[in-house]
Amino acid sequence: MRPVRLMKVFVTRRIPPDGWAALARAADCEVEHWDSDEPIPAKELERGVAGAHGLLCLLTDRVDKRLLDAAGSNLRVISTMSVGLDHLALEEIKKRSLLRSGIRVGYTPDVLTDTTAELAMSLLLTTCRRLPEAMEEVKNGGWSAWKPLWMCGYGLTQSTVGIIGLGRIGQAIARRLKPFGIQRFLYTGRQPRPQEAAEFQAEFVSTPRLAAESDFIIVACSLTPATKGLCNKDFFQQMKSTAVFVNISRGEVVNQDDLYEALTSGQIAAAGLDVTTPEPLPTDHPLLTLKNCVILPHIGSATYGTRNTMSLLAANNLLAGLRGEPMPRELKL
């Protein structure tokens, strides 16, 4: 009896235990992985993916033409443990799919929506109430007597909140903000979303109007050619000098040089970022010198539960794709 040929799977990192357990149970797969918490070097990734039938990757792994060439004709499934897809050369993947039986792509939307929305709320409140700055004053002896205007920030009650991208995460953020007594929600995006906006009585407006009228702006859109560099000098100049800007989407949506200028010149009051360009942000980056800029290390989905769920969904996407079954969450190319 001929032995059954195992399908080769390459995993680009150590992943949380639920996903790894699912792969380990797969008797029809031979699983290899980069045994580190740090990103795999490009050359190692090319070596690892050679001849693979399936690839499980993270948002730090650039899956481009060169890597697809290195993988070869066996590659049938790419499963990314992320909701973002800007690290995947989708047009190249689609082109190759047309030439042969197809490369299927799985991703992990929905499971990180609530966790990312919670982080957005945390970052917004931390930034607008100047919490890191206040904590530092306690540590360095700056806290003396109670003073009427010392450490004052900006409150959410009766404010106007602008959300760039009223998708799943944008809606989850608005849902959490609503009990804070927001007076008005504005949103912008590719097109109006009246059904989704109705819950918040949110008004679809142009990007310049959103910038001009919002007290707080939260960026929750996908990175696309249309959104790359969207928040630039012109955008910040239209904002109120008391406005607070928060980005939890992708770093490249923001021109960071223009943001730095807006923060240092007093064009806007403060900014909170969970994403930057590059990542990690160099420790000598000018934005890190500012008291009115709070920067986090891209931890929007960083809870144990969410990361485990993401890893399991990514593993199940991969295995279903390899077996010719419906993926739990497949991207339609």
Eight-class DSSP state of 157: T
Point out the catalytic residue in the list 33, 53, 87, 298: 298
The continuous run of DSSP H or E covering 10 comes out as strand 7-11
| Positive/negative CA dihedral, 44, 101, 98, 84 | negative
Q: In what order do the strands lie in the sheet with 330-331?
A: 29-33, 7-11, 54-57, 77-80, 104-106, 330-331
Give the burial string for 160-185 (b: 16+ CB within 10 Å, else e): bbbbbbbbbbbbbbbeebeeeebebb
Nearest-angstrom CA–CA distance, 228 and 295: 20
Can you list the alpha helix ranges (DSSP code H) found in 39-167?
A: 42-49, 65-71, 90-99, 113-128, 131-140
Nearest-angstrom CA–CA distance, 243 and 135: 22
Q: Is 285 a catalytic residue?
A: no
Cα 98-100-106 angle, rounded to 5 deg: 75
Distances (CA, A) of 188 to 11, 203, 217, 262, 321: 37, 8, 11, 21, 35
Nearest-angstrom CA–CA distance, 219 and 150: 29
Nearest-angstrom CA–CA distance, 218 and 227: 14
Task: Reduce the secondary structure of 252-286 to three states and give it as a string.
Answer: HHECHHHHHHHHHHCCCCEEEECCCCCCCCCCCCH
Eight-class DSSP state of 166: -
Nearest-angstrom CA–CA distance, 84 and 90: 12
Active site residues: 298
